[in-house]
């Protein structure tokens, strides 16, 4: 926590690094092989709206540990649920040669995007894989806990970081992507003055 209370931080965002499974698209148990060939695929609730809201930023990337899909297939799966058009980069651990939670994964992603980590927002459902290592390389982090992941004592009030442990790596904790989309207009982009700190705004 700390630097996210700075208005300046949010004005400096230039891109988003999205996790794929259970963040943008549901990782439905019982399927094998590339998601694009699964009989049924599903976007996570609020994903389209959050991508649309954040499309004010010039670059949005999917960065995944998925092993059955390469970047092309990830893009094709996202196409099936109408999310591809918002995204500019499709990166997989297999192609990058490094996986989450290695912080090097996020450094490599930032390099591929051509944006320094401090200007990137990492959004994911997995605290250990998506949030802690992204924070370690200097990204701003938004944790969208999967149901059941964030019990009492692990999760702070909405809009704040939890006090203890790994959850403190999350600059912002939201219950779902609908909520993130609601918060995005608060994030100043492209030189518009911010209305103020994003993470301390409390329940709105
Ligand atoms: Mg995930």
What pLDDT does 148 receive?
Answer: 72
Q: Is the pLDDT of residue 191 over 60?
A: no
Cα 92 off chain centre by: 15
Ligand 1 geometric centre to CA of 190 (Å): 29
Which residues neighbour ligand 1 (ion) by CB within 5 Å? Answer: 19, 21-23, 125-126
**pLDDT at residue number 97:** 96
Whether residue 120 has pLDDT greater than 60: yes
| Predicted confidence (pLDDT) per residue in 144-185, tens digit | 998 877 644 444 445 444 445 678 899 999 999 999 998 875
Domain membership of residue 26 (yes or no) is yes
What ranges in the chain are assigned the alpha helix state H? 7-11, 47-54, 71-80, 93-96, 103-113, 132-136, 177-183
* Cβ–Cβ < 8 Å for 70, 31: no
Q: Containing H/E element for 118?
A: none
CA of 146 to the centre of ligand 1 (A): 9
Q: What is the pLDDT of residue 167?
A: 84
Query: Is 199 contained in some domain?
Result: no
Tokens of 168: 């403190």
Asked, for residue 193, whether it belongs to a domain, the answer is no
Domain encompassing residue 103: 3-186
Q: What is the rounded (10 degree) CA torsion for 172, 178, 182, 184?
A: 60
Please report where in the chains the tokens 């698209």 appear, as a residue: 25
In this predicted structure, what is the pLDDT of residue 85?
A: 96
pLDDT-derived band at 4, boundaries 50, 70, 90: very low
With a cut of 90, say whether residue 189 has pLDDT above it: no
- pLDDT (average), residues 4-14: 64
Residue 52 domain-assigned (yes or no)? yes
| Contact of 174 with 198, CB cutoff 8 Å | no
**Does residue 202 sit within a domain?**
no
Quick one: pLDDT band at residue 10, thresholds 50, 70, 90?
A: low
- Long-range Cβ pairs for the range 162-169 (8 Å, 24+): 166/127, 166/128, 166/131, 166/132, 167/127, 167/143, 168/1, 169/127, 169/131, 169/132, 169/134, 169/135, 169/136, 169/141
**Residue 96 lies inside a defined structural domain of this protein:** yes
Closest CA to 155 of 167, 139, 138: 167
Structural domains counted in the chain: 1
User: pLDDT at position 183, please?
Assistant: 85
Instruction: Return the percentage of the chain with pLDDT > 90, whole number.
Output: 69
Residue 203 lies in a domain: no
What is the domain-level CATH number for residue 146?
3.40.50.1000
Average pLDDT over residues 45-55: 95
CA of 132 to the centre of ligand 1 (A): 13
CA of 157 to the centre of ligand 1 (A): 22
The answer to whether residue 91 is domain-embedded is yes
The pair of structure tokens assigned to 62 is: 């999917």
Average pLDDT, stretch 72-88?
97
């Amino acid at each position: 926590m700390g630097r996210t209370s700075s208005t300046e931080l949010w004005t400096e965002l230039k891109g988003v690094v999205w996790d794929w499974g259970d963040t943008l698209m549901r990782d439905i148990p019982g399927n094998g092989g590339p998601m694009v060939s699964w009989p049924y695929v599903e976007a996570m609730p609020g994903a389209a709206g959050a991508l649309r809201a954040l499309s004010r930023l010039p670059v949005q990337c999917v960065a995944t540990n998925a092993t059955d899909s390469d970047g092309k297939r990830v893009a094709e799966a996202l196409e099936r649920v109408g999310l591809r058009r918002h995204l500019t980069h499709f990166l997989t651990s297999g192609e990058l040669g490094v996986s989450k939670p290695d912080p090097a994964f996020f450094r490599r992603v930032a390099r591929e995007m051509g944006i320094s980590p401090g200007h990137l927002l990492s959004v994911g459902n997995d605290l250990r894989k998506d949030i802690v290592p992204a924070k370690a390389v200097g990204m701003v982090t938004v944790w969208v806990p999967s149901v059941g992941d964030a019990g009492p004592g692990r999760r702070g009030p909405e809009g704040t970081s939890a006090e203890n442990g790994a959850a403190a790596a999350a600059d912002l904790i939201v219950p779902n992507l609908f909520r993130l989309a609601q918060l995005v207009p608060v994030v100043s982009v492209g030189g518009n003055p911010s209305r103020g700190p994003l993470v301390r705004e409390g329940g709105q």
